[in-house]
Copies of this chain bind each other. A is one copy, B any other.
């Protein structure tokens, strides 16, 4: 295992200072042009050298007739060329001394026997020159912390803490907008394509050492190096959680992923076993993978599986409670001491069974401060799940009712929401126990937006929040198991 990302074969792929670009032109419908535009749009600060046989400039950058004309050997070559000239281009890059390449071009292993032969030749050429190559048939890399986005779509949102390696480029580039709506972001996303050379195990290793990455996400259609996958995962799990979404367990899924990257997915049970042995948490949809990442990247795991649910709405509370057994969570009763401490804050219509259904709060701010603080202190509980409504429109209407002017309403709504968020943030930081919230409101609500921007996990709906808490508990169990077996191995020596 590497100690720093600088040691990784992927370092210069994700953090180049200079790029040789093949396949961009001034034709705005060409894929390579689009992809170079993505790089420019995010404000990449390094040098870009477009290589084009005819053009003098490409997208306002000085162009070069061939790679041999370049004034230096750039850190990285990005190749978006027709299949037939990819190998000669890699050869030329090798001659120039370029050591890293992203091959976007498709038409290799995924198209059948002829493509398999081509891919072997590509790999041999890369090896001859000691080039670390990601792809072919991939969409490249997005490292927003380095202002690098080589993918097809413009980057949106913020640099984040999710390190993702994906056997589908879509699950990198098409997630920018999606993650933005959830207040999340990639630390770095790698689309690995056909994995001729670099594969997801290399990416895992990189993320294990990446300081921006708090949780690792994998989209898996096939694992090529089973043993290395398990060993690498087990080395990472004690420090960082890994979540995997695996597709290919069904016959239809298998067929689909085969035509996608030319890899043969295995039966579901086999992969289930590999993930279990690796200490990797499995997600069953891409949404769920990011639900889990959201919580695993922001919260320390609880010491046990006892959860308390705080709500002011019966239905959402009951739905969360009903889902707990599925997620292997227990709902303990509160201690007498807690009930006593709670009593000044809760109305007579409230239920103090778990879920704690307050129905309403005498002082609304208590819901965000005193009440969750008391619940987190309970000795019977390991974690807290809180339902948030706090609609902006409700606060505004109350202030309007008090006769406030439109300007004062805006200002005071902001103040109240800031106060609520601040209380929640204090609790989130102060208490060792994890604390997940859920809401049906989106980032359009300024309260939800502010929570998300403080990296406080807000899950969209009760079941998803409960399952995410379940994943956090599971991470603790997997981590303990991996650590225990490592200790055993050491003591055997």
Contacts and interface: CB of A to CB of B under 8 A. Distances in A.
Contacts of A249: 322
A402 B28 contact: yes
Contacts of A460: 287
A170 B314 contact: yes
B393 A247 contact: no
A58 to B, nearest CB: 12
Interface of A: 28-29, 31, 33-34, 37, 41, 106-107, 111, 152-154, 156, 166-171, 174-175, 177-178, 181, 219, 221, 245, 247-253, 255-257, 259-261, 284-287, 313-319, 321-326, 331, 348-349, 351, 353-355, 357, 359-360, 389, 391, 393-394, 397-398, 401-402, 440-442, 444-445, 460-464
Nearest to A29: B398
7 contacts: A154-B393, A154-B394, A250-B321, A250-B322, A253-B321, A259-B351, A260-B317
B315 A167 contact: yes
Identical chains in the assembly: 2
Nearest to A181: B442
A270 B181 CA distance: 39
Nearest to A307: B252
Contacts of A318: 168, 221, 247-248, 253, 256-257, 260
A106 B359 contact: yes
Contact of A398 (B28, B316, B321, B349): B28
Tell me which of A166, A393, A440 has the highest count of chain B C-beta atoms within 10 A of its own C-beta.
A440
Given A170-B314, A174-B389, A315-B171, A322 B260 contact: no
Contact of A463 (B166, B175, B285, B323): B285
Contact of A322 (B175, B256, B319, B323): B256
B441 A286 contact: no
Given A259-B351, A285-B462, 7 more contacts: A28-B402, A153-B391, A153-B393, A175-B440, A260-B314, A286-B315, A442-B442
